[in-house]
Amino acid sequence: MIRCKLSIAVNRNRRIIKSRNNIRDLPKVSGESAKYWENKFMDSLSTSVEIQKQYNKLESEIKLLLTQLPRNKKEENKLISQETKYLLDRRKSLYKGKRNKEKQSEITKLSKEINRNISHEKKKKRQKIFEKFISRTGALRKAYKELSDKSEWAVKLKNRRGKVLSRRPDIIKEATSFYKELYSSNDISYRDEVGRCDSTSTDTEPEIILRSEIDYVIKTQKNDKAPGRDNIGNE
């Protein structure tokens, strides 16, 4: 017998993690700045210094360079357009300071226009997503998945009264009360249940199988079955 160890490489489906929105812009290096950083790097390196110290100094210089680069925040693909953002900024500026009837009427007018624009942009985006998936696969399941903006947590979990719990605080509260009652209860323990099962199993003995029943079953078996054509029993 040969014993060996098999190792199988399984490809795991990893969750796609979105990158950070804040990124660094690539520097526009001119001739003078390139020469400056080259001289700075060369000054940090020296044959008379240990390799680890050279590495640490070079790393600190690179980190210093990265901190001096400007940050660029990516524009997130949201439902709000530039026009709606402008209206929101206008309404925000009107909220500041004292209000009069003219300001209040303008705020109301802007709010209605903002709601109308957001609703229109939502419908437009929804239509685009449906068109994309219909032309690509012809199915709408992935389209509905992309459009869903919420994920259910512990689906169809009910409390003792039969009410479905969907909010996270309610689920945590119900689970906490359940485990508190489970571990604080002294009426029926797990050991008592196990002991009760063992005691019932030892009291009842299995029924005796008669020899005549065994002979009858052997005779009614087909050929080439036990005891077979040689008529040798299993005893």
Query: Could you report the per-residue pLDDT of 178-205, keeping only the tens digit for each?
Result: 888 888 876 655 545 545 555 555 556 6
Pair (47, 64) in one structural domain: yes
Within-domain flag for 103: yes
Render pLDDT for 67-105 as a digit per residue (tens, 0 to 9): 777 666 555 556 678 888 899 998 988 888 788 888 889
Within-domain flag for 225: no
Within-domain flag for 197: yes
Predicted structure pTM score: 0.36
The domain in which residue 107 lies consists of: 82-147
Q: What pLDDT, on the 0 to 100 scale, is given for residue 100?
A: 86
Within-domain flag for 48: yes
Pair (86, 67) in one structural domain: no
**223 has a pLDDT exceeding 50:** yes
What is the tally of structural domains in the chain? Answer: 3
8 vs 166 pLDDT, higher one: 166
Instruction: Of 221, 218, 223, give the one whose Cα is nearest residue 233.
Output: 218
Pair (163, 191) in one structural domain: yes
Q: What pLDDT, on the 0 to 100 scale, is given for residue 194?
A: 46
How would residue 230 be classed by pLDDT, with cut points 50, 70 and 90?
A: low
* Cα–Cα distance for residue pair 110/118, rounded to 1 Å: 12
Within-domain flag for 233: no
CB hemisphere CA count around 84 (13 angstroms): 16
39-48, 84-93, 137-146, 205-214: least confidently modelled range: 39-48
Answer with the one of 147, 165, 188 that is the final residue of a domain.
Answer: 147
Instruction: Of 80, 109, 83, 84, give the one whose Cα is nearest residue 94.
Output: 109
Pair (169, 199) in one structural domain: yes
Average pLDDT score, the chain = 74
The one-character DSSP state at 162 is -
b (16+ CB within 10 A) / e for 150-180? eeeeeeeeeeeeeeebeeeeeeeebeeeeee
Answer with the one of 73, 100, 115 that is the final residue of a domain.
Answer: 73
> HEC states along 93-114?
HHHCCCCCHHHHHHHHHHHHHH
Within-domain flag for 6: no
Within-domain flag for 199: yes
Pair (141, 106) in one structural domain: yes
Within-domain flag for 100: yes
Mean pLDDT of 132-159: 79
